[in-house]
Amino acid sequence: MTRNTRILMQCIYWAFVLYLLVPLALMMLMGFKDSKFIGFPIRSWTLDWYLGVFGDAAVMQAFGYSMFIAVASTAIALFMGVWIAVALTGRSFWGRAIVLGLTLLPAVIPGVISAISFRIAARVIGMEPGMWAIIWSHAIHNVPFVVLVVMARLTTLPKSYGEAAQDLGADPIITFFRVTLPYLSPAMVGGGVFCMLLSFDDFVRSFFLGGYEPTLPVLIFAKLRSGMSPEINAISTIVLVLTALLGLWAERSMRGMSKRAAND
Amino acid sequence: MTMTTDTGRAGTRDRPGFWGRLSTFGPYTALTDVLLSSPRRQFWVLLTIPILWVFVTHLGPILQMLNVSLLTNYPPSPNKVASYTLENYSKFFADSIFITPFIRTLVFSTVLTLTTLIIMYPVAYFLARHVPRNKQMLFLMLLLIPFWVGEVVRIFAMMILLGNNGALNLALQWLGLTERPIPFMYTGFSLSAGIIYLTALYMLMPLYSALEKIPTSYGEAAADLGAGPWTRFRRITLPLSLEGIASGCTLVFLISTGMYATPVLLGGPSTTLFSEVIAGFFHVAGDQWPVGAAFSCIMLLTALALSGGFNKLMGHLAGRVKK
């Protein structure tokens, strides 16, 4: 590549970084505005909006509700995802491609259609909209991501590990718990945090399957539709900081995984 | 039996630990004798639950949606008996108020997918080729962090940027480029900016991993043989990144056809997308569920068929390159 195209690409990269970060930075700033109306310029500043979030019972409740849904759906997704990944890796049988295709299906269905199919299915089996319906839909939606991450890790597991355990007398179940599962743990941490983020941030499924209690994204959506105030900025900023921290943690654990895999 | 592979747990070597005791525990050994006696049994023990799970929970809801889309009324009501019909599907073709948002969604998603590709290709190329290895993670992080923030929060950030009192209008007025605020919000522009903002990462990651894999020696060899930069790009880099282009475009296309909160918050009456039409059947009146289900099926089939066809084409192109 010539020097000019290289500089051009560098400019595009930094312009894109600005495009991504400036709106979020502005959103954080606006949370300090001492006025009920969102918009520039900001003439006087206050911390009240940020402090107010912690005193707002509805927000704190929605936060706890979203958190519980994220943890519960992640637990189910991890359990099923690891099981499916272990069952499909290193095994060939008739129909494996079909099972693998169906495993990945929830990840490629457009969001609103997936939400509606879950809404209909919940009605068919007589499940009321609400917490369990949301947990169920988030878990199903997240299984493909766990399977992909765990399968990638499993293919790097040397066959000799399992054979050694079996030679020492371990049956397949004990081999799984003592050899395979510890080896998978970084992938499970990384995949699990990723699932928690997907669930915590999810809007469309929570919106269609929710009962009267809103999750945090649904609450922010409702507040956005009824009129904007810097309170929403403060809530969003706190959500942003939390999700960014969780994401960084997941990234670190996944990176440790690829490094260790390279060393193995 | 005691496994001593465990690290740092002194003492387990002498007396059997939990797993050692489990493997000699009567009921457990009886159970494993039954379950694991033959490879065939092990296979079914391992695969029954995954197979049931994917058929019942992954495929089940889609099939139920298909079933409801063929019913005359749903949810069931005591005074109306549901029967099978194709009327819900014919409603779609009968009225342009349904077809217009449908076409608009497809055109919008296609144009935005291509736009995202054109923006993200140089970004991914720059990251994979021009940033030193040890700094790549840092440069990638700058792009990743915003994507961990949820859809609704990011749409809100976009609203603050583009509103009439937003930062962009303020900057334009301050620069003297415009006197009155330009109404960016609730137009195709704000919707496009929002959708690209939300989907760009799904384009970046496949492109980046495809470009990163291409050995630099290929380009050097071509340069030695006299190929110019444009030829090297067209004959080496582009063909070898086709796979990344295919999966990035597929992801972005499927995600943008399924967006709901974004068109509701950033779009206006002239940019109604099909997802809003579908959602209307579930929120306004309950007895319109079958129509909503039918429209969802139409959307799903079209989106999957288009992206499947696109992938076939890209696979064909990539196959030709390999020959």
> Chain A closest CA to B322's CA: distance in Å?
23
Nearby residues of A10 by Cβ (< 8 Å), 6 or more positions away: B126, B130
Report yes or no: A230 and A49 within 8 Å, Cβ to Cβ: yes
Compute the half-sphere exposure of residue B101: CA atoms within 13 Å on the CB side of its CA. 24
Cβ pair A171:B166 closer than 8 A: no
Q: How many residues are recorded in chain B? A: 323
In chain A the first and final C-alpha atoms are separated, in Å, by 36
Output the average pLDDT for chain A.
87
What confidence score (pLDDT) does residue B110 get?
A: 95
Report yes or no: A188 and A257 within 8 Å, Cβ to Cβ: no
Between B27 and A143, the more confident residue is A143
Cβ pair B144:A247 closer than 8 A: yes
Compute the half-sphere exposure of residue A155: CA atoms within 13 Å on the CB side of its CA. 8
What percent of chain A lies above the pLDDT cut of 90?
40
Cβ pair B258:A110 closer than 8 A: yes
The domain over range B94-322 is classified in CATH as 2.60.40.420: no
Cβ pair B151:A203 closer than 8 A: yes
pLDDT digits (tens, 9 = 90+) for A22-32: 999 988 888 88
Which residue is associated with the tokens 């859809």? B151
Backbone angles phi, psi at B80, to 5 degrees: -125, 130
What confidence score (pLDDT) does residue B11 get?
A: 46
What confidence score (pLDDT) does residue B3 get?
A: 46
Handedness of CA B21, B24, B28, B32 (dihedral sign): positive
Does the model's ipTM exceed the 0.90 cut? no
Task: Show residues of chain B in contact with A84, CB under 8 Å.
Answer: 50, 53-54
What percent of chain B lies above the pLDDT cut of 70?
93
The CA-atom distances, in angstroms, between B307 and each of A108, B42, B116, B303 are 10, 38, 16, 6
What confidence score (pLDDT) does residue A247 get?
A: 83
pLDDT, mean of each 10-residue run, chain B (323 residues): 46 67 80 79 87 94 93 79 85 87 94 94 90 83 84 89 83 83 86 92 91 83 81 83 91 93 88 89 74 93 93 85 62
Cβ pair A121:B61 closer than 8 A: yes
What percent of chain A lies above the pLDDT cut of 70?
94
Nearest CB to A83; choose among B49, B152, B254: B49
> 3-state SS string over B62-111?
HHHHHHHHCECCCCCECCECCCECCHHHHHHHHCHHHHHHHHHHHHHHHH
> Chain B closest CA to A101's CA: distance in Å?
9
3-state DSSP assignment of residue A45:
strand
Task: Show residues of chain B in contact with A119, CB under 8 Å.
Answer: 282
> Chain A closest CA to B323's CA: distance in Å?
26
Q: Please give the Cα distance from A44 to B117 (Å, whole number).
A: 42
Between B261 and A260, the more confident residue is B261
The CA-atom distances, in angstroms, between B110 and each of B107, B114, B278, B295 are 5, 6, 20, 20
Q: Is B50 on the interface with A (CB under 8 A)?
A: yes
What sections of chain A are H helices per DSSP? 3-30, 48-55, 57-88, 96-108, 111-124, 131-154, 159-167, 172-175, 181-201, 204-209, 216-226, 230-263
Backbone angles phi, psi at B71, to 5 degrees: -95, 155
What confidence score (pLDDT) does residue B169 get?
A: 83
Cβ pair A102:B5 closer than 8 A: no
Domains of chain A: 31-263 (1.10.3720.10)
Residue A217 reports pLDDT greater than 60:
yes
What confidence score (pLDDT) does residue B38 get?
A: 79
pLDDT digits (tens, 9 = 90+) for B56-115: 999 999 999 999 999 888 777 777 777 888 888 988 888 888 899 999 999 999 999 999
Residue A183 reports pLDDT greater than 80:
yes
Nearest CB to A116; choose among B19, B122, B292: B292
Closest alpha carbon to A84 in A66, A99, A69, A68 = A99
Domain boundaries of chain B, sorted by first residue: 1-31, 94-322
Q: Please give the Cα distance from A185 to B97 (Å, whole number).
A: 51
Instruction: Assign A131 a pLDDT band (cuts: 50, 70, 90).
Output: very high
What confidence score (pLDDT) does residue A229 get?
A: 77
Q: Please give the Cα distance from A199 to A75 (Å, whole number).
A: 12
Residue A200 reports pLDDT greater than 80:
yes
Handedness of CA A151, A153, A155, A159 (dihedral sign): negative
